[in-house]
Structure 1
Amino acid sequence: MKSRVWTTINFDAPGIQSDFARVPYSSDTSAYGWIPVPMLCFNGGKGGPTALLTAGTHGDEYEGQVALRKLVRELAVTKLQGRVIILPALNLPAVAAGRRTSPLDGGNLNRVFPGNPEGGPTAAIAHYVTTELFPLADLVIDLHSGGSSLDYLLMALARPGRNQGEAEAIRRLLKSFGAPYSLVTDGANGGAGATLYAAAEQQGIPALTTELGSGSTLSEPGLVIAESGLRRVLRDHGIAPDME
């Protein structure tokens, strides 16, 4: 079923565009309202690969949100051979509240993939990513950290892939990102097949996620890893070959 979420961004047009993924949400204050999930598209117009970069899947995890906002400024002055789509606050209701889950429907966005277009806001966001953004992407990075309840090693995680070719592409992505620790896992007890990167795997897209901090604060080492890892991936995959 087609997503009910929409945007004015033309992903095929060269240049820089910014708008929202507009998630329909009927509430007491707005019968025909919508939730604005910020989104930017940087298109070098040269037919290169596309990177889909997300953060704020959980609203109390800040390293990825800050890293993507800083990357936006860098990409504005970087020559691209491909395309970068950035959603730095993917679950905006949770981000605005500083919570792991959405205050609108209680949804944990990283437990509802591939989503439901007729579900609540959280499920609708997941469905939009799965059906509209994944088909555009050649690689996916979903940045996470421990948030207010968890303490993690600084690491990147990826699922094993469905075949040898996909496994090699995933391991290349992990190596390029270059976190201090990398783990290939089936995600058991951590969301398994209902996570964003698991949904990407099911479409054959190399994807990784991260854990880059802990507590309801900002980890400076985690932020540095996110920033440097994103730059390496964009350079090594030929999207921003001049990025340092």
Structure 2
Amino acid sequence: MSQTPIRTKIDFEKPGIQWGTLNIPFSYNLSGWSQLQIPISTIANGEGPTVLLMAGNHGDEYPGQIAIMKLMKSLNLDEISGRIIFIPAINIPAAKAATRLSPLDGKNLNRCFPGNADGTVTDIMAHYLTHEIFPRVDVVIDLHTGGRGVYFYPCAHMHLVDDLEQRRRMAQATQAYNTDFSFLYADIAGKGLLPVEAENMGKTVVTTEMGGGEVTNAAVHRLSQEGLHNVLVHLKVLQGEEQSRSDLGLPPTRWIQALDAEDYIFAPESGLFESFVDVGADVASGQPLGALYFLERPDREPTIIQANSAGIAIAHRGPTLTSQGDILFCLAHDVESDILKTFA
């Protein structure tokens, strides 16, 4: 196996606070000796879990990036029991370009695992996470939104892993985000997913979908930041009193799932999409969810998109302009009680 070309001055075993960069050789300007630099910091004190905290896996998903940048500057060493590794924009070229994919090689970091040390910059970063970072940590927190393409009802989510103890840890950490919904999702878009790589190593993996689109309102920023703080307290890497939804005067989290390919509804043709329902709404089987209109054929009747089952509209298309094959809706369903019992 090839060694990583990434170099850093960060010592992952060193106590205290460190700031640095992950440096990937990459000739993308006039200099042949240039490198891509990805900011990273660590804070470590005493005994406790090691948590990897990252965002910007997809560049156009910003609430998590802001939450991590604020958190990494606000923590004091004496608040920590263990270690946190902060990477606020793991795909910084995409973050700067406001794109989902890296503009340097056109690849989706979230689909490049386990990576390749001899590949493009995105492959190299996936390889580094797989072989250098994941083995050092107990918990992987990867913060997402729907980006510019999809709007989610803000939620924490996870995969339904087979290992019951790992599942319990993940469910309890997911629920500590205190979102209205906790969402179990399926991997319907191919292989190579970052959380799956970490899950296969036995890590506790927590991810989010904090809204989406160009605009992020203050409520989503607050939820992203306060939820993240509460999860770190729950994990006992950060001192403080964990808050439950009951403590906040809120009803219990509603666990939902979209584990079947039929739960994901795609555009049958291109057009302008109008949503009839908001995310978070309960819908009936056969209920019209939206319509596609046709700029070049305004005489045509719109194509009506219907729910193929009863459920909760957890996400829908973000931009109005829609291409054939774009996701229009994700319909989730309440998690069955026998699964919920495995979370306790």
TM range (shorter): over 0.9
How many angstroms apart in 1 are the aligned matches of 2:155 and 2:80? 27
State the alpha-carbon separation in 2 of the partners of residues 132 and 107 from structure 1.
21
Corresponding residue SS for 2:72:
helix
Distance 1:219 1:36 in 2: 30
* Distance change (3 Å), C-alpha of 1:77 and 1:50: closer
Aligned partners of 1:113 and 1:127 also within 8 Å: yes
Show the counterpart of 2:226: 228
How far residue 92 of structure 1 moved from its aligned partner, in angstroms, is 0.8
Residue in 1 aligned with 2:172? 172
Instruction: State the alpha-carbon separation in 2 of the partners of residues 162 and 188 from structure 1.
Output: 18
Query: What is the alpha-carbon distance in structure 1 between the residues aligned to residue 29 and residue 214 of structure 2?
Result: 31
Which digits, 9 at most, give the CA deviation of each residue in 1:43-79, with x for residues without a partner?
11x1210110111111111101111011112214652
Evaluate the alpha carbon distance shift between residue 78 and residue 178 of structure 1 in structure 2; reply closer, same or farther with a 3 A threshold: farther
Kept in 1: contact 2:43–2:77 (CA 8 A): no
Counterparts of 1:63 and 1:123, CA distance in 2: 25
Letter in 2 for 1:187: D
* Partner SS state of residue 104, structure 1: coil
1:2-17 alignment, distance < 5 Å: 2-17=3-18
| Offset at residue 137 of structure 1 (A) | 1.0
Q: Provide closer, same or farther for how the CA distance between residues 242 and 130 of structure 1 changes in structure 2, counting only shifts above 3 A.
A: same
Amino acid at match of 1:163: D
The one-letter amino acid paired with 2:238 is A
Does structure 1 retain, via aligned residues, the 8 Å contact 2:91–2:102? yes
Give the match for residue 241 of structure 1.
239
Aligned to 2:30: 29
- Name whichever structure is richer in strand by fraction: 2
8 Å CA contact 1:110, 1:195 repeated in 2: yes
Q: What letter corresponds to residue 158 of structure 1 in structure 2?
A: M
Tell me how far apart the structure 1 counterparts of residues 215 and 77 of structure 2 sit (CA, whole Å).
30
CA RMSD of aligned residues (A): 1.6
> Residue in 2 aligned with 1:86?
86
Larger RCO: 1 or 2 (CA < 8 Å, sep 6+): 1
Q: Is residue 63–residue 224 contact of structure 2 (8 Å, CA) maintained in 1? A: yes
Partner residue in 1 for 2:54: 54
Per the TM alignment, residue 243 of structure 1 is displaced from its structure 2 partner at its CA by 6.7
Residue 13 of structure 1, CA deviation: 1.0
Which has the larger displacement, 75-84 or 18-27? 75-84
- Residue pair 1:158, 1:185 contacting (<8 A) in 2 also: yes
The 3-state SS of whatever aligns with 1:151 is strand
Task: Kindly state the Cα deviation for residue 144 of structure 1 after the two structures are TM-superposed.
Answer: 0.6
Shift of 1:155: 1.1
State the Cα distance separating 1:16 from its structure 2 match.
0.5
Aligned partners of 1:234 and 1:118: how far apart in 2?
35
**In the alignment, residue 129 of structure 1 is paired with which amino acid?**
L
Give the TM-score, by structure 1 length. 0.93
- Write the distance in 2 (CA, Å) between the matches of 1:201 and 1:95: 25
Distance in 2 of aligned mates of 1:221 and 1:196: 28
Counterpart AA for 1:11: F
* Structure with more of its chain in helix, by fraction: 1
Instruction: Give the unaligned 5+ runs of structure 1.
Output: none
Structure 2: distance between partners of 1:102 and 1:218: 22
Match of 1:146 in 2: 146
User: Alpha carbons of 1:28 and 1:79: their partners in 2 closer, same or farther (altered >3 Å)?
Assistant: closer
Q: Is the 8 A contact 2:156 2:175 kept in 1?
A: no
Give the structure 2 partner of residue 201 of structure 1. Answer: 199
Identical amino acids, percent of aligned pairs: 36
Kindly state the Cα deviation for residue 221 of structure 1 after the two structures are TM-superposed. 2.2
C-alpha separation between the residues in 2 aligned to 1:23 and 1:127?
12
State the alpha-carbon separation in 2 of the partners of residues 150 and 78 from structure 1: 40
Give me the whole-angstrom Cα distance separating, in 2, the residues matched to 1:66 and 1:35. 21
Amino acid paired to 1:146: G
Are residue 19 (structure 1) and residue 17 (structure 2) matched?
no
Q: Which residue of 2 aligns with 1:129?
A: 129
Q: Does the 8 Å contact 1:150/1:214 carry over to 2? A: yes
